[in-house]
Structure 1
Amino acid sequence: MARRAFLHVGTAKSGTSYLQDLWWRHHDELRDRGLLLPGAGRRDHFTAAAVVKGMSAVLDTLSDREQDAWRRVLDEAGDWSGDVLVSNEHFADTPDRAARRALSELAAVAGEVHVVVTARDLGRVLPSAWQQRVKMGARQPYRRFLGSVRHGEDDQKFWRYQDVPAILRRWSADLPADRVHLVVVPPSGAPRDELWRRSAAVLGVDVAGLDTEVRRANDSLGLVEAELLRRINERLPRAGRTPELTRRIKGTFVPEALAGAAPSEPFVLPVQHAGWVQERSAEMVASLRAAPFDVVGDLDDLLAGAPREGRTPGDATDDELLAAAREVLHRLGHDGADSLDTALDLVAGDLVRRFSAG
């Protein structure tokens, strides 16, 4: 039986990829130091989360072995005498009953169960969340997305992944408050490894001497590239948008053909949305201050800051988009295009030919 089981449930866009990359890179060293990550890699934890959550669209595509991912995690934890860590942001959106069942199953194979939530301020999360959705096939323009988040309230998908107090309540059922941990993502300008060190403190693992250099290619998109991808999504037939096509676009096309196709320009939260974002942030922070959970970091860092000057993806011009599309076509081995419409059709057609068959 494991000594302690740590379940890191998100939130999305809170440094989860950074942490998971480091945890899996140092899988062997962490094991030697008493912390086991069950499974062979990040996908095992994703499939485990899909099973726990009941993600039917994903489950229908999994092999029999993948369908058994959560059970294999539990079995490995039960055979380990040290600490165990399972991490995937899709756990955040797990229904209440399924979350309780998962905690109970972990309690059967570990002496203590701990839940870890990492969180970042909404002002930084919203642009990042929209970009992530576009990578997954979304067609919704950025400003329309912000409006839907503002008015959608708790039944809007964004909040199921980002309502930090609600996520903590869902995953703290029957757990002592000191075993529910909120790790605040440091503000911009903090040392890059501060989140890594805060998380290590919660896990109680010695990470001294472990390399924290970012090695994965940075496939974060600037506003022109993000808007170009959204418009490409509009050209892809909905009926052919399989999970496999989405994975291949996100994992291959975005980092290899799209990222860097236009000058890097981050996009901002529009001024007209700053007020409600700041208000919602303040409400969440007030709720968290009143909660008994263990907080690592400063809750004030979850307050959305003042709006910054800058453009949004909808401000990208056709000339900018065409130039980026021509660069993408060049990388894909095609000649240029005379118009933006032609370029978008060519890229979309190439993606279907390359990736639709899996």
Structure 2
Amino acid sequence: MVSGVTPLPGDARILHVGPHKSGTTALQGAFHLARPRLAEQGITHVGKGRNPARPVQAVTGRPPMLGGPTPHEEDWQGLVDEVAATGDQRALISSEFFAAATEGTIPRIVEDLGGSRVHVVVTLRPLGKVLPAQWQQYVQNGIRASYEEWLDVMFNRPHERPNSNFWQRHQQGDFVERWAGVVGADNLTVIPVDDSDRGMLLRVFEGLLDLPEGFLVPDDRHANRSLSYGEAETLRGLNKGFKARRLPASFYSTYIRHGAVKRMKVAYQPPKGSEILTPEWALERAAKLGADSAERISALGVNVIGDLERLSDYPSNRAGTPASGVAVPPEAAAQALVGAVGAIRRGGVPDPAPSRPGPGAGRDRRLRETPARELARELFSRGLRRARRVGGRLLGRGRSASS
């Protein structure tokens, strides 16, 4: 147990609200892995999976990820009922999608989940480390802007698309203040993440949940690594082709995000030196914002476990100008293709045919019979051609794709 961490009350509703890219996936994996043992300790990890994304999207009014299922009010009510069913035991609710909650939404969330029993936990990382991680995540959700284009919008035109919700999540001082304004400073804990200590977050939560040291362990089977720059650029090329052909959003979710990208992230490990570099001007702006946020959070009087000065860290080893014309290694492209084809074989393509035959029945039948060929040609041609440029003996020869 981390020294100085006071366990939360035995009937608390511990609401971990993220935001994104602050260790949320690692925490949720550990919670999910320990679910039966947590129950033995009188703690319910609320939700059917690692992250109750759909119920939270429903209450915050945020749309699902591209091609994902539409959230409904019933999803949120189901989560609320599950929390209520825990009675006088601890309930643990963790989702970075709570980061989308506005000043108008937070009071309802808190009231629905238990009112004065709710204790909010915020995990924060230096903004300079969040930027590349968020950009590549947005690319996994279909955006087509390059990293430098995206940075320009985020810092210089922050209310424009793409992803104008970035600062809703990552203006850290505002973020903490919104939640503290509803639950009170005594009922909010901020944890500045120490990236040099991989076990730090788990040990802090062990302390908050009154668990023995070593109780929570990482679930390495579901690590959510970031894409390398080459992988992200290749996926960005696929996004352009996807948009140009106006393919159904459900295809993207099934075959790209949960097929190609998921397989690539699990089966391929990028070499050192392939990380996403951030221009110095953006890192300097991020460090200044982090310092301002640390000062604001300190003034709020909330509980802080760790060093707020970490929020102003300048990751000099990740400073630089992203290279142009970078290509994904053939091995990564091959794994992506395997993932997409596997998704096609497992799940098929959403049936576009009407409920009973009509004038277009013959055309719909042809669509159903050729999903693999159509998707492979359209969604992977850019990535595979780019891979050939690096020595695509594995995948054949051809011209490189434009970025």
TM-score by length of 1: 0.82
> Where does residue 82 of structure 2 map in the other structure?
76
Structure 1 CA distance for aligned equivalents of residues 158 and 243 of structure 2: 30
Residue identity opposite 2:139 in structure 1: V
Structure 2 CA distance for aligned equivalents of residues 147 and 39 of structure 1: 37
Task: Work out whether 1:285 is the aligned partner of 2:291.
Answer: no
> Where does residue 228 of structure 1 map in the other structure?
234
Q: Compared with structure 1, are the counterparts of its residues 305 and 53 closer, same or farther at alpha carbon in structure 2 (3 Å cutoff)?
A: same
Residue identity opposite 1:85 in structure 2: L
> Where does residue 120 of structure 1 map in the other structure?
125
> Where does residue 339 of structure 1 map in the other structure?
399
> Where does residue 61 of structure 2 map in the other structure?
54
Task: Work out whether 1:100 is the aligned partner of 2:107.
Answer: yes
- Structure with greater helix percent: 1
Task: Work out whether 1:148 is the aligned partner of 2:159.
Answer: no
Taking every aligned residue pair, what percent have the same amino acid on both sides? 26
Give SS of 2:260's match: helix
User: Superposition RMSD on alpha carbons, in Å?
Assistant: 3.0
Structure 2 CA distance for aligned equivalents of residues 286 and 116 of structure 1: 18
Deviation, 1:79, is 2.1
Q: Compared with structure 1, are the counterparts of its residues 322 and 222 closer, same or farther at alpha carbon in structure 2 (3 Å cutoff)?
A: closer
Give SS of 2:183's match: coil
Aligned length: 334
Name stretches of at least 5 consecutive residues in structure 2 with no aligned partner: 1-9, 342-375, 377-394
Residue range with higher mean Cα deviation, 168-177 or 252-261: 252-261
Structure 2 CA distance for aligned equivalents of residues 170 and 272 of structure 1: 28
Structure 1 CA distance for aligned equivalents of residues 301 and 126 of structure 2: 20
CA shift digits 1:62-114 (9 cap, x unpaired): 579x6422222222222222100111111111122121111111226xx6111
- Give the counterpart of 1:196 among 191, 197, 202: 202
Larger Rg: 2
Task: Work out whether 1:308 is the aligned partner of 2:317.
Answer: yes
Residue identity opposite 2:117 in structure 1: E
Deviation, 1:328, is 5.1
> Where does residue 178 of structure 1 map in the other structure?
186
Task: Work out whether 1:16 is the aligned partner of 2:24.
Answer: yes
Give SS of 1:85's match: strand
> Where does residue 7 of structure 2 map in the other structure?
none
Structure 1 CA distance for aligned equivalents of residues 70 and 314 of structure 2: 45
Residue identity opposite 1:340 in structure 2: S
Q: Compared with structure 1, are the counterparts of its residues 262 and 340 closer, same or farther at alpha carbon in structure 2 (3 Å cutoff)?
A: farther
TM-score by length of 2: 0.74
Name stretches of at least 5 consecutive residues in structure 1 with no aligned partner: 345-358
Give SS of 1:231's match: helix
Deviation, 1:161, is 1.0
Give SS of 2:13's match: strand
Give SS of 2:119's match: strand
Q: Compared with structure 1, are the counterparts of its residues 288 and 217 closer, same or farther at alpha carbon in structure 2 (3 Å cutoff)?
A: closer
Does the CA-based 8 Å contact 1:225-1:324 persist in structure 2? no
